[in-house]
Structure 1
Amino acid sequence: MEQQNFGSAWHLVDAHIHLDKYTKSEQQQIIDEMEQYGVESLITVSYDIESSKENLTLHREHNNIKAAFGFHPEQQVLNNEAMQELRAFIDLHHHDMIAIGEVGLPYYTRKENPDLRIEPYLEILEQFIILAKRYDKPIVLHAIYEDAGVVCDLLEKNKIKKAHFHWYKGDTRTIERMIRNGYFISITPDVLYETEIQQVVKQYPLAQMMVETDGPWPFTGPFAGEMTHPQMIHQSIETIAKIKGLEIAKVYGQLLWNTKQFYCI
């Protein structure tokens, strides 16, 4: 897409990025180029307590960076002391927090280690769900394939409505359940070349969809060798519009509205 298209009708929000995981120079490049590429806001999710602290600093330095606090599940489970520290941080800074996240279940870690006990991760996830409910914040979820159904059980149990399943992959039955519950998903740049993601776009309503990079996670296809940058989302939106058979301006407008309404930006 040509740069001259990045006018007021072509704005976007990167709904899921790990901005703290970029180098300082990469962070500055992305921040400096947001206006150029029509990026209104970045929602930067956290990996652990230190990540949450870094994202809080980024938010306080830049109003268009919105911080979510949480614990990424694809790592060793938090012990009680570490969980209490993170909960205390969230309690103290919930006014600066746009969402709880990234939280969820360790799908890939369990694939590598089938003997890993899931129960401690479920207990921690439910604590985060309760925090999201307490502070009336959305929750950003790492939950794919069979894990998504388990997470849906916990969300339904706790009557959570504002759930964002980032980079979702899974079966049609779970997709239908998520749609009924009003949950949102976000689409990554691999929609350009991954048929699995393209199929999710076909199935999921545009009205419950957002777009993301999950940067600095690297992509292949047309993005091979490139630093993951929010400007890649323009190509994602172009592809979503083609899959949906909709005018691209309508898709831009809907995705932007979805994200700003969901996150109260």
Structure 2
Amino acid sequence: MKPIIDTHIHLDMYEESFRDQMLSELDLYSITQLIAVSNDLHSCLRTLTWSMEDQRIKPALGFHPEQSLPTNQEIEQITDLIHRYANHMVAIGEVGLPYYTRKKNPGVILSLYVELLEHFLLLAKELDKPVVLHAIYEDADLVCDLLEKHEMTRAHFHWFKGSATTIDRMKENGYFISITPDCVYEKEVQSLIRNYPLDQLMVETDGPWPFEGPFKGKITHPKMIHDSVEKISELKGLPAENIYNQLYKNTIDFYKIDSF
């Protein structure tokens, strides 16, 4: 197995015992680094703490949109952390728009989430950091509008789903997407892989989110990325070694992190 990076994982959502085991096995599976995203203030603090103890953990600080809006105090505290640890963190994220929350509760006021997202985008631009985005289907178009408005190109749409028109727009703007292990069995994701430029792809687990197919019943582990690479290799018609090398380079360059 060649070196690879998990570009989107929620470390704070794992049970402690499994998280410790998983971290102890990273070298065994050639996972050199993890881009650890945050959900809220508490998550930011935990992610920062772990990243200070393990240089393989690269923190992203933000507020996940699929939940109730944070208080003004929490926004201020997260913003303060972002400023204080700007030289240590690698990105702002996970941020975006509440697609699934709105499906469950049509009363959600989207404009307030757009305002919060724009706050984080402006922070990312100010600090010259990439932004890790939760934005799918029609929400992706709203996010593209904001990115274009602020002339931002370092955008990473994780686990992306959307229309062909949106995909073309994202490709043209140079935005990156990351592929999850469901690419092994999901036709929609396989079509996206065929269509999206290899030099704008990365891989992730979004762990501990569970997967089906050959991963059914298993706790999501960064080692599953190797299955994703093999499927990308098959779909792109290129040797796996080429895929590993390109995905690794993409991630190192996008996040401006050192190779291990």
TM-score over 0.5 (shorter chain): yes
Give 1:1-265 correspondences, 5 Å limit.
Answer: 6=1, 10-265=2-257
CA distance, structure 2, for counterparts of residue 196 and residue 113 of structure 1: 26
| Matched length | 257
Q: Deviations over 1:162-201 (max 9, x none)?
A: 0000000001110010011110000000001111111111
Unaligned runs of 5+ in 1: 1-5
CA distance, structure 2, for counterparts of residue 61 and residue 82 of structure 1: 25
CA distance, structure 2, for counterparts of residue 176 and residue 72 of structure 1: 26
Residue 239 of structure 2 aligns with an amino acid whose one-letter code is E
Residue 184 of structure 1 aligns with an amino acid whose one-letter code is F
Unaligned runs of 5+ in 2: none
Q: Deviations over 1:6-37 (max 9, x none)?
A: 2xxx1100000001111221111111111100
How does the TM-score come out when normalised to structure 2?
Answer: 0.97
Larger mean Cα displacement after TM superposition, 23-32 or 177-186: 23-32
Residue 172 of structure 1 aligns with an amino acid whose one-letter code is A
CA distance, structure 1, for counterparts of residue 118 and residue 18 of structure 2: 34
CA distance, structure 2, for counterparts of residue 113 and residue 227 of structure 1: 29
CA distance, structure 2, for counterparts of residue 146 and residue 202 of structure 1: 21
CA distance, structure 2, for counterparts of residue 80 and residue 51 of structure 1: 17
Q: How far did 1:79 drift?
A: 2.4
CA distance, structure 1, for counterparts of residue 39 and residue 136 of structure 2: 18
Counting aligned pairs with the same residue, the percent is: 53
Residue 107 of structure 2 aligns with an amino acid whose one-letter code is D
> Could you say what secondary structure the match of 1:141 adopts?
strand
Larger mean Cα displacement after TM superposition, 78-87 or 10-19: 78-87
How does the TM-score come out when normalised to structure 1?
Answer: 0.96
> Could you say what secondary structure the match of 2:85 adopts?
helix
Q: Deviations over 1:128-157 (max 9, x none)?
A: 000001110000000000000000000011
Q: How far did 1:115 drift?
A: 2.2
CA distance, structure 1, for counterparts of residue 218 and residue 166 of structure 2: 33
Q: How far did 1:202 drift?
A: 1.0
Residue 16 of structure 2 aligns with an amino acid whose one-letter code is K
Residue 244 of structure 2 aligns with an amino acid whose one-letter code is Y
CA distance, structure 2, for counterparts of residue 120 and residue 82 of structure 1: 15
**Structure 1 segments of 4 or more deviating over 2 A?**
none
